[in-house]
Chain A
């Protein structure tokens, strides 16, 4: 059965459609893999019974000749998407015991297309983190280890459990969310593909909110075609999210060609950051050469405000978070710790329910929004954000897509960087600017670090132009030929 977990999403779809394999067989193979990989801590809630029930229903529909886009395909869901009747924690103690009475639009879309739910994956608490170490449910282990030792490495974050599950062949694909890099960075760390579409492409309804002007759902897969297929089933207009775009979802899968001939690909000078490992610098150059060999034109560009993106993000995201997380007051759902009076109950509940990083961000957000500091911090950040958006707009006058490394390092050890929040924030230096501009971005595994760990390349596209992002991603995938399974899989 082991080979069934080696199939990609699109390949499994073909075999299911031809009735070569059943949805139940395919699901059972993944549940067995899940059982063997408990040490990764990739899931917060596993739903094997629900998975088999959904797989049986999919087989019944297939027998009748009815099949959705993802009929019978087992996938994993980041535990930030509300799922009706299945516990949803956002990786936080404050949501302990919470069982949503409603379904997020993205997961509803997936089930409507016949997908099978394996369970809810681990994540940084409220998606605030780049290592999956801030989860109340413990860190996730990257299925990759350095060849020379067996030390536990982080899968990246915040969607670390989803990335680990896909890399470890527990799930064919998985959903994630990306606020400042939470899909692309873990995809790079785990040697898989991850796409964040344009802000507004997927509905945010039923996704636990972190920073509403940045949060966007996206997809993980082990190749570009799989990632495109999952995203296609997730995306679409939703009247329940007033920021979701009323645009048709293009047939990304059908149009996927990997052709980059004639495309102008920008290389931003400002992304050459100090202290970047040589392997990443070389891989970036290699990526440009690969695209050039396929007929793309490489163009040097400037994104002058790049270095200000992270500090801008660390005003805007905590400000929005402090407001969004005000709802966790112990009254309507989740944890309540009783105090002497109402105010004390609030304070004790939130002190016990939130972890250190979430508290830090709520307090930073509260401070930058407080009377006397709003203009100096929040308004200033909104103005610098405009500068960053303008940088991209000017660059896209000259180019069709932008190529960068996904992250400034490969996966690091579990426990590293925890004593220095700013050092941790720097992980997202290449992903945050495009998040602030709402642009689509993909990370494709393209090579190995000096220590033998996967490295990703990122393609950033124009708003609503996921197709070019996917095609350039596919061109990189073909050229890189990255087909290594994690060493840690044994």
Chain B
């Protein structure tokens, strides 16, 4: 699989990473090389193989639906680039 500049632009937008135009070409080459190497997986017969999601057969435990922590507003907003009155301040989303 060889990626073109337009595809890399699209991926960068999906990934929310700004990529300058000048970097698209070298990035396309790097990503294409990695994907080309990955494509050898096509050699493996995986018909009738169930995909694996969790490697350990861990059953998820149930617990009572009760609050066991909380009142952490100050701690949660402490690292915010911008916070006001216990809220995160973010750029305007709705015009």
Contacts and interface: CB of A to CB of B under 8 A. Distances in A.
Interface-centre pick from A239, A354, A367 (highest chain B CB count, 10 A): A367
B93 interface: yes
Contact of B90 (A342, A367, A384): A342
A384 B79 contact: no
A370 interface: yes
B69 to A, nearest CB: 10
Contact of B93 (A97, A314, A342, A422): A342
Contact of B92 (A199, A341, A438): A341
Contacts of A101: 72, 75-76, 78-79
> Mostly helix, strand, loop or mixed at chain B's interface?
loop
Contacts of B15: 322, 350, 359, 362-363, 366
Nearest to A386: B52
Interface string A438-463: 10000000000000000000000001
Nearest to B40: A311
Interface of B: 3, 8, 11-19, 27, 30-31, 33-35, 37-44, 46, 49-56, 58, 60-61, 63, 72, 75-82, 88, 90-93
Contacts of A359: 15, 17
Given A314-B34, A383-B50, A385-B52, 8 more contacts: A331-B81, A332-B80, A333-B79, A339-B91, A341-B92, A347-B17, A350-B17, A386-B49
Interface in A332-382: 332-336, 338-339, 341-348, 350-351, 354, 359-360, 362-364, 366-367, 370, 377, 379-382
Interface in A10-66: none
Contacts of A152: none
Contact of B61 (A242, A312, A335): A242
Nearest to A311: B38
- Specify which of A98, A200, A333, A345 lies most central, judged by the most chain B CB atoms within 10 Å of its CB: A333
Classify chain A: how many residues form its interface, as a range.
35 or more
Given A308-B44, A342-B92, A421-B33, A213 B79 contact: no
Among A199, A362, A363, the one with the most B-chain Cβ atoms within 10 Å of its Cβ is A363
A382 B55 contact: no
Contacts of B38: 311, 314-315, 377
A312 B56 CA distance: 18
In the A-B complex, the 6 residue pairs with the smallest Cβ-Cβ separation, listed nearest first, are A382-B51, A333-B79, A101-B75, A438-B55, A336-B81, A383-B46
Contacts of A332: 76-77, 79-80, 88
Best-surrounded residue of B56, B61, B63 (most CB of chain A within 10 A): B56
A253 interface: no
B19 to A, nearest CB: 7
Q: Is the interface of A mostly helix, strand, loop or mixed?
A: helix
6 contacts: A245-B56, A347-B18, A362-B17, A386-B46, A386-B51, A386-B52
A114 B31 CA distance: 47
A380 B37 CA distance: 14
Interface string A169-209: 00000000000000000000000000000111000000000
Contacts of A438: 55-56
Interface in A275-317: 305, 307-308, 311-312, 314-315
Contacts of B72: 101
A348 B12 CA distance: 11
Contact of A364 (B34, B52, B81, B91): B34
Nearest to A326: B16
Given A364-B35, A383-B49, A305 B44 contact: yes
A308 B32 CA distance: 18
A332 B73 CA distance: 12
Contacts of B92: 341-342
B44 A351 contact: no
Interface in A384-420: 384-387, 389
B44 to A, nearest CB: 5
A326 B17 CA distance: 10
A104 to B, nearest CB: 15
A330 interface: yes
Contact of B91 (A97, A98, A338, A363): A338
A436 interface: yes
A350 B77 CA distance: 20
Nearest to A95: B79
B34 A360 contact: yes
A347 B82 CA distance: 18
Contacts of A308: 40-41, 43-44
A226 interface: no
B33 to A, nearest CB: 6
A55 B59 CA distance: 40
B53 A213 contact: yes
Contact of B56 (A243, A307, A326): A243
A246 B61 contact: yes
A471 interface: no
A487 interface: no
